[in-house]
Amino acid sequence: MAVDQRTVPRSEHARTESRDFYAVLGAQPSATGDELRAAFREAVLRHHPDRATTSRLATRRTSILNRAWSELRDPLRRIHYDRALEHGVAETLDWPLEVGEPESPARVRRRVEPIVPSQWHQPQWRNVAGFRVPVEVWLQGPVASNRWIVQHHLAGEDWREHRERYWLRYAADYYRDRNRPDDWIGSLERLIEIDLSFDTLVRAHLREAYLVTQMYLRGAEFLRRIGTRWPEGTAQRRFIEQDVRAILGAFRDARVRHGPIEERAEAAELLLNFLEALGVEPSVADVRAAVAAHRRAGHAGRAAELVERAVEAPITEAGRWYSVLQLLTESGQFDRASRLLAEIARGDHPEALVARAVRGNPARRLGAARERLNRARRRAAVVR
């Protein structure tokens, strides 16, 4: 029996219930796109004006159906709506009810699981040089952060018990700034032993550290050992060999060419023995410094022995001819120096006359060697 609309109270027409977009279409949030489209079409047919009690109710429902469908048909907007639905903040629509139509049972929304904070997201900490620093300390600036790190991570710690690279880097700077050379060098060496990358070796600036602390022989031995990580002839190996030479050259200048006379001779022997142990051929500069040290100490026999060893050694570099010539001149062997000078000038050693090979002007180098020999002879004549 049809209901006379004129006898229906006005408040009955105003009855509505709040529904989310899926409830409006009569679909589940897990529905596929095709299922959602089918639900929309079915809802439009079900609420067609021909089937509704009033055309006004049908118009309102059709408008609401179109509103829900326009939102959910777009994949991106549907994603945003689903996310809002999960968190309980999704938009709802007022669905008009027919006269006497009971309200539908409340849809059981998907449960929103509590978000467990990630162990990596800890806003109460800040990262400073690899260390976790409380955010309130971090906000006070670098000085406060560094003080906190020293107090909680470095004080009372022994670098020998650590393998963390960030810890060793920070500790090395800390020891350097507080003039603790043994700990500084030790932590750097441990860092290099643990980290096999060449970049870490370069950034450690070991050569400068050994020179500042005057740990020359220790540095040369350590770098020589680390250099075996890379094959001979590689750029890494050449880089390390240059550092070894530079450190040993600094030892020669500091201990063999300067200092008390007796200590110079001892340092010269130590340098030569160390080079032999490392398998490194002494340079002419090393031999010259050792010869001068022994001559000043009154060890003429040892000085002559070193000169003979340098002269008899095979010459593999063209510039070494001029170095041997200077060594003979400084050791007072003027006749041998004069003969070698004549051999070079005649072209008996042609590589010594090639500018590129000797890295200079051969004629100029010959003239300088001749002038040096003549001055040495005049000084020797005055002494006699």
Q: What torsion do the CA atoms of 123, 127, 128, 133 make, to the nearest 10 degrees?
A: 40
C-alpha closest to that of 72 among 90, 47, 53, 48: 90
pLDDT at 112 over 70: no
- Domains contained in the chain, CATH given: 10-96 (1.10.287.110), 205-313 (no CATH), 316-384 (no CATH)
Q: Give the tens place of pLDDT for each residue, 260-286.
A: 888 899 999 899 888 888 777 788 888
Q: In whole angstroms, what is the distance from residue 71 CA to residue 73 CA?
A: 6
Bridge partners, 19 (sequence order): 93
Residue 300: its pLDDT value, please?
Answer: 85
Q: In whole angstroms, what is the distance from residue 130 CA to residue 209 CA?
A: 23
For residues 38-51, give the mean pLDDT: 82
pLDDT at 288 over 90: no
Residue 106: its pLDDT value, please?
Answer: 52
Sorted by sequence, the CB contacts under 8 Å of residue 115 that are 6+ apart come out as none
